[in-house]
Amino acid sequence: MLDILYQDEQLVAISKPSGLLVHRSLIDTREHEFALQMTRDQIGERVYPVHRLDRPTSGVLLFALSSDIARLIAEQFAERDVAKNYLALVRGYSDPEGHIDYALREQHDKIADAKADSDKEAQPAITDYRCLQQVELPVAVGRYDSARFSWLCLTPHTGRKHQLRRHMKHIFHPIVGDTSHGDGKQNSFMREHYNCHRLMLHANSLQLLHPISGEKLNIEAPLPSDLRDPLERMGFNSL
């Protein structure tokens, strides 16, 4: 059973676990469980996706309960009227806050995006971040005598594929557990010492206007145990 964060006659929001695909995809044709179908079966209604959440990322995932509502929500996303906040564990000590304005080329999957235009120019991509906590562990990882980590709040203002993961790599603070853009030694350290096998990225809140009432909605997803437990063991508090 998925955790339902919000539900009314127009919308339903769930807390998606890390590792769960949103819908059927050529990325993994052997997978048989998807957030869209699981939500539909759980609430007994057809649901319509209105935004993306990468497979390894956990957190708030919103569905519409009709195609008309899906269109209205999609317009809010297109106009950037939806605010999204993420929490991430990254390598190293970051600045207290920062603004990343770094254009990104479309990143295509070899199978799912085989027919996509690979020559498209880089698109504007903007992310703000704020450091919430930092921890230093007296364990040598790589060439350093200790391992430093920062717990960040990330706010993307555009929606490029893997934007947060690529932006954090760009400023040399890759997200822990990222097997595509991260630090292999840090990832191995987390697996061996904290039994952590996931991407340390969580979509913790989504703010938008209700498409019918106009009410401002703030939907939040608590940290799942597979993320909270290793963070607490590392010494992070007030999560």
Please check whether residue 221 lies inside any domain of the structure.
yes
Which of 3, 41, 54, 119 does the annotation list as catalytic? 54
Q: Which two tokens stand for residue 139?
A: 């364990």
Per the domain annotation, does 67 fall within a domain?
Answer: yes
Q: Is 59 contained in some domain?
A: yes
Alpha helices in the chain (DSSP H): 35-43, 67-78, 163-170, 184-194, 225-234
Domain contains 239? no
Residue 147, beta-bridge partner list: 137
Asked about 183 being catalytic, the answer comes back as no
Range list of β-strands (E), the chain = 3-7, 11-16, 48-49, 58-64, 83-91, 97-101, 126-137, 147-156, 201-209, 216-220
| CATH number of the domain bearing residue 125 | 3.30.2350.10
d(CA 168, CA 182): 9
- What's the number of domains the chain is made of? 1
Residue 48 structural domain: 3-234
pLDDT in tens, the chain (239 residues): 999 999 999 999 999 999 999 987 655 556 678 999 999 999 999 999 999 999 999 999 999 999 999 999 999 999 999 999 999 999 999 999 999 999 999 885 655 454 555 678 999 999 999 999 999 999 988 788 999 999 999 999 999 999 999 999 999 999 999 999 999 999 999 999 999 999 999 999 999 999 999 999 999 999 999 999 999 999 999 88
Residue 127 lies in a domain: yes
Q: Is residue 152 part of a domain?
A: yes
Q: How far apart are CA 4 and CA 26, in angstroms?
A: 27
